[in-house]
């Protein structure tokens, strides 16, 4: 068990670097492991299943006293992050509809599970993040197709029903199954956290390897766009985080909750975005979510470490570690 914990923590801590290395090595390597196109969806579904198993559902009940904070967290997520994503897409990539779609997808998927981990490390309210994530799952299938209405239908077309079906298969059903297992076998949550953390890291690396390997030729044709995608993705991650935090403080939301807002607003599940982009649009569209994933994990880790050095007074701290991250 100690070895499992060590491996899971090591992989998790080095994940941004490992994702970057996996992407680069897969791209420059003359060979890559051939895997079925449905495998990334299956892998992410398994990760979300174990996330449901490891989630402390009881802690979410605390959120009943924070309806105002929950409302503003969801509002900030689905205004700031979506608007910034759409503006960046149209500002820099109007001549590349697939990249536009990838940028928009990166900002219209639910929050990343890493948002919970980073909130915990930063001393924020993880219950608020988890409850907001459940709201995200209900909102995202509606917002994503609407956000792409202006993109040429000849290049990009995502129907609501196709997207909803993918969300059900990749997110909703695995999460519900994981939560059900936990309710039937409460002790499973204690044993699943290290497994979930290790499995999440390995699954993400396999997803990156599969998507980059299958899209080598397309990536090669647009390799000159990579620096601009990095720049746009950096703004897409950092601006919503900063804006969400300072707006929360202006709304008199306490420090613990504001730190949760920061990560909830800024960190999206770009592994899901990459899979949806690959499935519905093409290999080129998956580049932006992959780059966003590298940035949001790196920036998220740095900011969580920064806040960890600034403890919150006991009378305003209400953080509980409720998900493995």
Task: Report the CATH number at residue 117.
Answer: 1.20.1530.20
With 50 as the cut, is the pLDDT of residue 323 above it?
no
**Residue 316 scores a pLDDT above 60:** no
Are 106 and 233 contacting, i.e. CB atoms less than 8 angstroms apart? Answer: yes
Instruction: Take residue 246 and report the two structure tokens written for it.
Output: 């300072």
Is residue 245 included in any domain, yes or no? Answer: yes
Domain membership flag for residue 50: yes
Q: What is the number of structural domains in the chain?
A: 1
DSSP 276-293: HHHHHT-GGGGHHHHHHH
Task: Tell me whether residue 313 is in a domain.
Answer: no
In the three-class reduction of DSSP (H, G, I as helix; E, B as strand; rest coil), residue 155 is classed as coil
Answer whether residue 123 is part of any domain: yes
User: pLDDT for 120-165, tens place per residue?
Assistant: 888 888 888 888 888 888 898 888 888 887 775 655 666 667 777 8
- Least Cα distance to 280 among 170, 200, 206 occurs for 170
Residue 6 domain-assigned?
Answer: no
Q: Which residues neighbour 195 within 8 Å (Cβ) at sequence distance 6 or greater?
A: 4, 8, 50
What is the rounded CA–CA span in Å between residue 137 and residue 3? Answer: 34
Residue 8 located in a structural domain: no
> What average pLDDT does range 80-92 have in this prediction?
95
pLDDT at position 56 over 70: no
Assigned domain for 325 exists: no
- How many whole angstroms separate alpha carbon 156 and alpha carbon 280? 8
> What is this structure's pTM?
0.82
> For residue 148, what are the domain limits?
15-308
Maximum average pLDDT range among 27-41, 128-142, 143-157, 221-235 = 221-235
Is residue 275, in this structure, part of any structural domain at all? yes
């Amino acid at each position: 068990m100690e070895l499992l914990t060590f491996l899971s923590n090591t992989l998790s801590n080095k994940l941004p670097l490992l994702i970057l290395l996996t992407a680069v090595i897969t791209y420059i390597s003359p060979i890559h492991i051939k895997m079925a196109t449905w495998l990334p969806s299956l892998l992410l579904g398994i990760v979300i299943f174990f996330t449901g198993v490891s989630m402390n559902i009881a802690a979410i009940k605390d959120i009943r006293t924070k309806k105002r904070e929950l409302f503003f967290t969801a509002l900030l997520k689905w205004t700031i992050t979506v608007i910034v994503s759409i503006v960046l897409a149209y500002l820099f990539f109007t001549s590349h509809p697939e990249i536009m779609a990838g940028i928009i997808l990166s900002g219209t998927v639910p929050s990343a599970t890493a948002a919970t981990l980073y909130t915990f490390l930063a001393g924020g309210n993880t219950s608020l993040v988890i409850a907001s994530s459940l709201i995200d799952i209900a909102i995202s299938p509606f917002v994503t197709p609407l956000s792409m209405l202006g993109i040429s239908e000849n290049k990009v077309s995502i129907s609501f029903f196709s997207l909803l079906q993918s969300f059900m298969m990749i997110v909703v059903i695995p999460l519900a199954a994981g939560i059900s297992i936990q309710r039937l076998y409460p002790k499973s949550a204690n044993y699943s956290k290290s497994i979930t953390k290790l499995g999440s890291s390995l699954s993400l690396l396999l997803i990156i390897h599969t998507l980059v390997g299958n899209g080598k030729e397309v990536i090669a044709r647009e390799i000159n766009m990579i620096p601009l995608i990095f720049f746009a993705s950096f703004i897409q991650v950092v601006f919503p985080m900063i804006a969400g935090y300072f707006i929360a403080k202006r709304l008199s939301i306490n420090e613990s909750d504001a730190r949760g807002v920061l990560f909830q607003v800024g960190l999206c599940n770009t592994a899901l975005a990459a899979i949806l982009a690959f499935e519905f649009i093409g290999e080129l569209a998956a580049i932006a979510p992959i780059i966003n994933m590298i940035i949001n994990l790196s920036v998220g880790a740095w900011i969580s470490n920064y806040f960890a050095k600034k403890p919150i007074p006991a009378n305003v701290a209400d953080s509980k570690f409720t998900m493995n991250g």
